[in-house]
Amino acid sequence: MTPTAVPSTVHDGEQDLDLTSSAIDHKLAENGQSNGTSTTNVQELDASKLTYTFTEKPGDVPPLGVDSIDGVTVCTDHMITAAWSAKSGWKTPELKPYGPISLMPTASVLHYATECFEGLKAYRGYDGKLRLFRPNCNAERLLMSATRISLPGFSSGEVEKLILALMAVDGPKWLPRDRPGSFLYLRPTVIGTQAQLGVQAPSEALLYIIATFMPVLHSPAGGMKLHTSPDDMVRAWVGGFGYAKVGANYGPSLLATKEARARGFGQILWLYGNEGYCTEAGASNFFVVWKTKEGKTEIVTAPIDDRLILNGVTRRSLLQIARERLEGEIDVVERKYTIQEVMDANAEGRLLESFAAGTAFFVCPVSLIHHRGQDIQIPMGKAGDGGPYSLKIKGWLQDIMYGNVDHPWGVVVQEEQ
């Protein structure tokens, strides 16, 4: 049932218009309290119980630059799984050989999109160490996404430990020390597995974590070209679930993306409403650097308070670092802004830079936006590889990820060998 379909009665003193957010707040609060203090027999997710079954058929590490073979993503030797049921809670998590999972055709995820995921990278540092970047943020967001689609709760700290455990085992071989500057892409996922049709919260679920190879996407030659979303399509809407990393957000976006790719564009710039608010670029957050009419330099991106866009870890990190290190030089602004404002800035010579930012694309300079038959050309800096602010911020984050500097955001994995 959607929140709007609920009769407008006042229940427990709460307005029906708060249904979704109050349900989520309640679940998250419950979850925070229940760790170890549960009075029922339902087991909490416990990373310390992780069991290890090592592969007998170790795979080959692909050559640098190879991420898939015959259209199949290359994954490391192992994965972690943890099954959940409403009756007994979380089973013991297992590290085991990477391979297929089995589902009944009636599984909830296959019908009702009870799926959410995370994406984070493991980085082989220039100092030889293996790092994750703010993995707690991904674990927390996974919990939020799971809660949004009625998948079970867990302590996000336990998920973070499981991510580290997988990397401790597979990191040394799959991110060799002689490949500094390389990365793996980790994909923690939760799916509803209950094999019963019927539109309801699943009573069984599976959490799994895999480690994959992925191409480097952050510096396409000449910059990334964006095509604005078609008039008759919207990625997310206020009151929807665009702020959650749920699979249901992505399938429907592929049609426009495929069409745009066929015309030589990299991603869709998703606009919202009749006003044409700029929201996100593909599955990345979107940023513009411009001079205001008053002559101030601003870095501007869409806000998160209307729950329209995904609250990216890269987004919040680069906003924070820009606020800290570019104070007085540039204003960091989270607000709604329209494609018309971008076009006006362009027409008046005030448009300085633009980039998309997310784990997959990292900080990816945008050179062109095509909107309703018009091209907005965006400066790409002296060397043509991105504007100075984009590159500066990218460099700062990269230094943390690859261990050129010590920073609390870079979490070192204690490797097994």
Ligand X SMILES: *Cc1c(COP(=O)(O)O)cnc(C)c1O
Site stretch for ligand X (CB under 6 A), options 4-12, 35-43, 199-207, 311-319: 311-319
Tell me the three state secondary structure of residue 314: helix
In angstroms, the CA 46 to CA 378 distance is 49
Provide φ and ψ at 253, rounded to 5°: -90, -10
The 258-287 site mask, x for binding ligand X (CB under 6 A), equals ----------------------x--xxx--
Angle between helices 388-401 and 313-325 in degrees, nearest 10: 110
Nearer residue to ligand X within complex by CB, 345 or 391: 391
| Total residues binding ligand X (CB under 6 A) | 13
Per CB under 6 A, 139 contacts ligand X: no
Per CB under 6 A, 310 contacts ligand X: yes
Nearer residue to ligand X within complex by CB, 304 or 330: 304
| Residue 47 near residue 95, CB atoms below 8 Å | no
- Among 202, 223, 266, 312, which residue sits at the site for ligand X (rule: CB under 6 A)? 312
Location of structure tokens 């009573």? 203
40 to 59, contacts with ligand X by CB under 6 A? Answer: none
Nearer residue to ligand X within complex by CB, 245 or 371: 245
| Residue 340 near residue 291, CB atoms below 8 Å | no
96 to 125, contacts with ligand X by CB under 6 A? Answer: 119
197 to 226, contacts with ligand X by CB under 6 A? Answer: none
Per CB under 6 A, 135 contacts ligand X: no
Nearer residue to ligand X within complex by CB, 114 or 257: 257
In angstroms, the CA 183 to CA 171 distance is 10
Q: From 51, 56, 117, 36, select the one nearest 82 (Cα to Cα).
A: 51
Tell me the three state secondary structure of residue 367: strand
- Among 76, 108, 189, 359, which residue sits at the site for ligand X (rule: CB under 6 A)? 359
Q: What is the DSSP letter of 179?
A: S
Site of interaction with ligand X (CB under 6 A): 119, 245, 280, 283-285, 310, 312-315, 358-359
